[in-house]
Amino acid sequence: MTGLLFAALAPKAALAKPRKKPFVINPVFQPQYVPFDSSYAPGTVVIDPRGRFLYLVEDEFTARRYGVGVGRAGRAFHGAAKIGRKEKWPRWVPTKNMIRRQPEKYARYADGVAGGSHNPLGARALYLYRNGRDTYYRIHGTTEPWSIGRAVSNGCIRMVNEHVMDLYARVPVGARVVVI
């Protein structure tokens, strides 16, 4: 009888969709306060692309650390900038260089993508400016949280959406950003 019961249930079980495991970020990339011996002023954002961390300096000995995804080799911002503007659920437009490098992937988005849950910039974006001009580099959320801790982007700094929302609330326009 057990064999008949199993046989009767087998087709239904075969049709059932397997459950997708929810993504869980490595705890090291969760926001946390860490010792940070710094000569940077409180409120400065310091990004360490090699370590895959962004630090918000709290005082001369402490920073709030976030895990980030960074640009692929040759596509990363270096040096100092300021946050020139901030946007909630920002509109995304691929750069001309992105379209030129990979037209099959980006040309269809040349007119941009409205803000929302499927937008590559995620929930928030902090726009990096240098000498009063937009650098086209951003600190932003992502629809691909598994990319945190990797060098995969076109140069921007990616964060988990909840983490960039936290940073967005803590950092004002005009804050200094240093990529080491």
- Express as a percent the part of the chain with pLDDT over 70: 87
Which residues are catalytic, by number?
140, 156
The answer to whether 122 touches 140, Cβ cutoff 8 Å, is yes
Residues 86-130 pLDDT 10s: 999 999 898 888 899 889 988 998 999 899 988 989 999 999 999
Average pLDDT over residues 18-26: 76
Instruction: Flag whether pLDDT at 6 surpasses 70.
Output: no
Count of alpha carbons within 13 angstroms of residue 67, beta-carbon side: 16
Rounded mean pLDDT of 125-140? 95
Q: Which two tokens stand for residue 146?
A: 């598994």
* Amino acid identity, position 144: E
Q: Span 25-36, mean pLDDT? A: 96
> What are 147-178's pLDDT values in tens digits?
999 998 777 899 999 999 999 999 999 999 99
Q: Which of 49, 60, 43 is nearest to 177 (CA)?
A: 43
Query: With bands split at pLDDT 50, 70 and 90, how would you rate the model's confidence at 66?
Result: very high
Residues 55 and 45: beta-carbon distance below 8 Å: yes
List helix spans (H) across 52-107: 96-101, 103-106
Two tokens, residue 88? 């909630």
Strand partners, 113: 92
Q: How distant, in Å, are the alpha carbons of 73, 109, 150, 153 from that of 146?
A: 19, 23, 9, 12
The β-bridge relationship of strands 79-88 and 70-71 is unpaired
Share of the chain above pLDDT 90, in %: 67
> Which of 16-25, 56-65, 85-94, 136-145 is predicted with the least confidence, judged by mean pLDDT?
16-25
What CATH architecture applies to the domain 29-179? Answer: Beta Barrel (2.40)
Beta-sheet pairing, 151-153 with 70-71: parallel
